[in-house]
Structure 1
Amino acid sequence: MKTRYIIYTLLALLIAFLIYNKFFSEKAVEGRAAVAGGKKGRGKNGPVSVNVMIVKDTTLNNHIEITGTIDANEKVDLISQTAGNITGIYFTEGTKVKKGQLLVKVYNQDLQSSLQQIQSQIVLAKDIENRNKILLEKEAVSKEEYQTSLASLNSLRAQADVIKAQLTRTEVRAPFSGIIGLRNVSPGGYLSPATSIATLVNINPAKVTFSVPERYLQLIGKGSKVNFTVESSRKNFSATVYAIEPALNSESRTITVRAKAPNPDDLLVAGAFAKINLTLDQIPKAIMVPTQCVIPDLKSSKVYLYKNGIATEQDVKTDIRTDTKIQVIEGLQPGDSLVVSGLIQIRPEVPLKILKVIK
């Protein structure tokens, strides 16, 4: 029993000590006095220090940022039209080639021999045709005999044209000027029409392909200018729209647009990601304020104005938002003094002290 009484007594003393330390010690009394003094000073002698901005009209370029892809102006996988062993490779990987330049040659000695044989027969057939033509004029041969010799000559010429076409197919030439990529074949290797020799790319001008939401369809057309950037360069590029897909994408409700951008220095690379800044329209008189000035409310948004030394609450209506600013379309007029700092401490009718005026 005595042990229990001792424990109860110690607990009572501990509780009494904690209560005294919290409410009646010297530190507790000083803390309450400091809080009371602070409230009294703010209420009567402590206006909130703020910066204000003079509201004015400015020109607003309404634009959206969308993503796109850099495409080559022309791109093709080079292949051979005929099969055979490679007898020559006439390009260096990663270099520029001109249209019509010989790139790869396939074995064609058998065709060359056949062509020489036909050409010899053509020479003989031409002599016979000329001789029969003269004899026909002298009525020494019949017309049918002359036509037979002429048909034989034309037949040989046609055979020669076929062989020349076959010879052309043993040569792979550049279909357009551009930069040729890494080759996938070697001299002496067997080349078939299914084998890709290399990729030929023409990237000047470059094509920029992107999609525009349906609501902006009327604001873009052929000849529209777009600006964009790429990760591999700090330069700002511009492009001109030249083609628009005639139908919307039924899933995304966007329309595909393609523009061309000059690329004389080969800074743009096919397949690169493009960040496009598309200017939609220009608003000549718009009120733009810092985003942090607009305080969202349940029903609307509000700002604080400096009027006669005190804070005045003002309801506003907003529209276009940028990275740092927002457009106010109702509630503000040019010349108003908008509070831009100290907003956490401000309440309606609170005295204000201006530290800086931003014009």
Structure 2
Amino acid sequence: MNKIFVIFFLVLEVFFAKPIAINTIPIKKGYLQQQENFVGNVIFKEVANIASQSNGAVEKVYFRLGQHVKKGEKLLSLNDEFLQKDIIIKQAKLDQARYILEKKKKDLERYKNLLETQSIPLQQYENIEYEVKSQEASILALQTELDISILDLGHKEIYAPFDGVIVDQKVHHGEWISSGEVICQILNTKDVEVVADVPSFMTNHLVLGQAVNATINNKTYKGKIVAIIPKADVNSRNFPVYISINGDNMLLDGMPATIKLNVDRKNSGFLIPRDSIVQRNGKAVVFIVKDKKAILVEVDVLSVNRNQALVQGNMQENQKIVLRGQDKLEDGSEVREIP
């Protein structure tokens, strides 16, 4: 008896069910640029080996492996105690040489007056003149040596040349390093490219600067083509295409990336809103309206862009396709169109 009541109420529920509210739009025939997907890899364009420009013992390391650093951030400092004392000595020698030059110039002026009165021979005057010029040359050499030491002092601290991530550490506290020795390796995470191999027929449809979207780890990045290499891979016979993208800290070197490239030919079919397509049992379907009922139609998606999709399926031009509300529909559901 209870089963009879349940069936009765289910029949009443179906019979008196309210039509589902939907929005529709007419189906049109047309063309859409075909797109092809190509798989590539994320690469970081700039990987820099940061080297020391000075000799010395490592006094302090300010970075760690895997750390994100900013441009101008201090990475390492070398002990500069010996260099500081060397600069003091060179500055003292330079000051001494300037005092000697000042004295010799005064002597030269006095000898000049004596020469005019023929109180001294010409050779004696020329000797003191030579000593002045020699002292001036010595001062120039001492000043240059001091400048080099001061410049070297500035190299005792090493800074990051750009924003990036430390991917390798070569030195540690207390170690002695020589000029030119690598202290670490920095990966520039902002300057990112995707490289994908494309067949030869596609290269005719690509130009430098062309906008390209790349999907990486379910996120879409905007980019542009920066290089088309005219040398094929010996195995695949495809040509590398480089796409520069605006990266972020979520990207890793070597990540797979999918890029969409326009193909020259256009396909014909039914142009429908991209949002009208839903997935049912792993298949792309749409709902068209006929006699106030929603009819499920399987479609083959030929191409898509931002707003539209080009499909083929059992439908006709000017039939109404469900634009909104299709998520609640089943094949044969009663519907009510609203503006």
- Bucket of the pairwise TM-score, normalised by the shorter protein: 0.5 to 0.7
Partner residue of 1:268? 251
**Relative to 1, partners in 2 of residues 1:186 and 1:335: Cα closer, same or farther, differing over 3 Å?**
closer
**Relative to 1, partners in 2 of residues 1:280 and 1:185: Cα closer, same or farther, differing over 3 Å?**
same
1:75-133 Cα offsets, whole Å, 9 max, x none, are 22334355543111123554443434331123343333222211111111123334444
Partner residue of 1:240? 224
Partner residue of 1:286? 268
TM-score (norm 1): 0.57
Select which of 119, 122, 140 maps to 2:91. 119
Equivalent position amino acid for 1:89 in 2: V
Partner residue of 2:296? none
SS at structure 2 position matched to 1:57? strand
1:26-76 Cα offsets, whole Å, 9 max, x none, are xxxxxxxxxxxxxxxxxxxxxxxxxxxx99623323112112222224222
1:285-312 Cα offsets, whole Å, 9 max, x none, are 61269xxxxxxxxxxxxxxxxxxxxxxx
**Relative to 1, partners in 2 of residues 1:137 and 1:266: Cα closer, same or farther, differing over 3 Å?**
farther
Equivalent position amino acid for 1:253 in 2: R
Distance 1:185 1:177 in 2: 20
Partner residue of 2:290? none
CA contact (8 A) 1:89 1:104 kept: yes
Partner residue of 1:76? 48
Equivalent position amino acid for 1:208 in 2: V
CA contact (8 A) 1:73 1:204 kept: no
SS at structure 1 position matched to 2:232? coil
Partner residue of 1:41? none
CA contact (8 A) 1:55 1:287 kept: no
**Relative to 1, partners in 2 of residues 1:133 and 1:251: Cα closer, same or farther, differing over 3 Å?**
farther
Partner residue of 1:66? 38
Equivalent position amino acid for 2:220 in 1: N
Distance 1:61 1:253 in 2: 25
Select which of 119, 137, 145 maps to 1:159. 145
Where in structure 2 are the equivalents of 1:102-181 lying within 5 Å? Answer: 102-133=74-105, 136=108, 139=112, 142-181=128-167
**Relative to 1, partners in 2 of residues 1:129 and 1:87: Cα closer, same or farther, differing over 3 Å?**
same
**Relative to 1, partners in 2 of residues 1:66 and 1:136: Cα closer, same or farther, differing over 3 Å?**
farther
Equivalent position amino acid for 1:286 in 2: S
Equivalent position amino acid for 1:216 in 2: M
Question: Equivalent pairs: percent with the same residue?
Answer: 25
SS at structure 1 position matched to 2:190? coil
SS at structure 1 position matched to 2:240? strand
Distance 2:162 2:41 in 1: 23
Cα displacement (A) at 1:147: 0.8
Distance 2:142 2:178 in 1: 30
Distance 2:101 2:269 in 1: 92
SS at structure 2 position matched to 1:257? strand
Please say if 1:189 is aligned against 2:175.
Answer: yes
Distance 2:234 2:65 in 1: 42
Cα displacement (A) at 1:251: 4.1
Distance 1:59 1:91 in 2: 56
Distance 2:174 2:93 in 1: 33
Where in structure 2 are the equivalents of 1:1-359 lying within 5 Å? Answer: 57-81=29-53, 84-91=56-63, 93-133=65-105, 136=108, 139=112, 142-181=128-167, 183-191=169-177, 197-231=183-217, 234-263=218-247, 265-281=248-264, 283=266, 286-287=268-269
Equivalent position amino acid for 1:152 in 2: S
Q: Tell me which moved more, 265-274 or 116-125.
A: 265-274
Distance 1:172 1:194 in 2: 12
SS at structure 2 position matched to 1:229? strand
- Is the radius of gyration larger for structure 1 or structure 2? 1
**Relative to 1, partners in 2 of residues 1:269 and 1:326: Cα closer, same or farther, differing over 3 Å?**
same
CA contact (8 A) 1:212 1:256 kept: yes
Distance 1:84 1:148 in 2: 34
CA contact (8 A) 1:214 1:254 kept: yes
